[in-house]
Amino acid sequence: MTDLFAPADRFEPLALDRADVSLLRRFDLGLPDTELLAELVADTPWRAERIVVFGREVAQPRLSCWYGDADAHYAYSGLQLAPLAWTARLADLRRRVEAATGEAYNSVLLNYYRDHRDGMGYHSDDEPELGPAPAIASLSLGERRVFSMKPKGATGPAPVKIPLDSGSLLLMRGPTQRHWLHGLAKLARPCGPRLNLTFRRILRPSARNRAPA
């Protein structure tokens, strides 16, 4: 007999060239997704980071907050981020994400897309502190939004669109950041809030330029 629920319980690999991306549609959060969303929205000290775009300082179109081990310092979009200490909830989610993905993480970036006007431009998470082949586990909560991926330097094919549902866990690793960009488009129509948590491992300076094992 076919087990209808099996696909939700394992990572489904996406067929992308020179990338290692897989999606676990229903990740065990330890509590209902709606409760976790409400808790994190309420309890997180959200920041509206300012960045320089074409020489002009503007607010990022989303709120964010950075947690991690005390030594997990990170520069992101030109911002120097010192992590807040893990909360009990985020430490529990980290353990669950580590068990599901078989990778270790020492930090998590929370992004809060308040409505359709919030998004994230195309980028790759290829900062040197992540090393040459980082594993990044991306947990989504709330509104379903489309995560787009396109190969670096490509003018040709349309982006790959991956709708991310509440409670899904997307895992990017290996050469993905080296060869692909990803982003989250703003929408024309109103939608509800979405949270995204990207678990990452910041390498110590001595380990940063080493080739992957």
Which residues 139-158 are close enough to bind Fe ion by CB under 5 A?
none
User: How many other C-beta atoms lie within 10 A of the C-beta of residue 106?
Assistant: 20
| Comparison of 64 and 86: residue with beta carbon closer to ligand AKG | 64
Lay out the site mask for Fe ion across 111-130 (x = CB under 5 A, - = otherwise).
--------------x-----
To the nearest whole angstrom, how small is the minimum distance from the Cβ of residue 31 to Fe ion?
26
Place of tokens 């488009």: 185
Closest by CA position to 47, among listed 9, 8, 79, 11: 79
Record the tokens describing residue 195, joined without a space: 């949270």
Applying CB under 6 A, does 166 fall inside the site for ligand AKG? no
The binder of ligand AKG chosen from 60, 138, 166, 176 (CB under 6 A):
138
| Comparison of 44 and 196: residue with beta carbon closer to ligand AKG | 196
Applying CB under 6 A, does 198 fall inside the site for ligand AKG? yes
To the nearest whole angstrom, how small is the minimum distance from the Cβ of residue 6 to ligand AKG?
25
| Comparison of 4 and 194: residue with beta carbon closer to ligand AKG | 194
User: How many other C-beta atoms lie within 10 A of the C-beta of residue 25?
Assistant: 17
Strand, coil or helix: 145 = strand
Applying CB under 6 A, does 127 fall inside the site for ligand AKG? no
The listed partner (ligand AKG, Fe ion, none) that binds 200, CB under 5 to 8 Å by sort, is none
User: How many other C-beta atoms lie within 10 A of the C-beta of residue 53?
Assistant: 11
Applying CB under 6 A, does 22 fall inside the site for ligand AKG? no
- Whether 26 and 9 have beta carbons less than 8 Å apart is answered as yes
Which residues, in sequence order, are CB contacts of 206 under 8 Å at separation 6+? none
Applying CB under 6 A, does 176 fall inside the site for ligand AKG? no
- Whether 106 and 197 have beta carbons less than 8 Å apart is answered as no
Closest by CA position to 118, among listed 59, 65, 78: 59
Q: State the residues that interact with ligand AKG by CB under 6 A.
A: 109, 111, 120, 125, 138, 147, 164, 182, 184, 196, 198
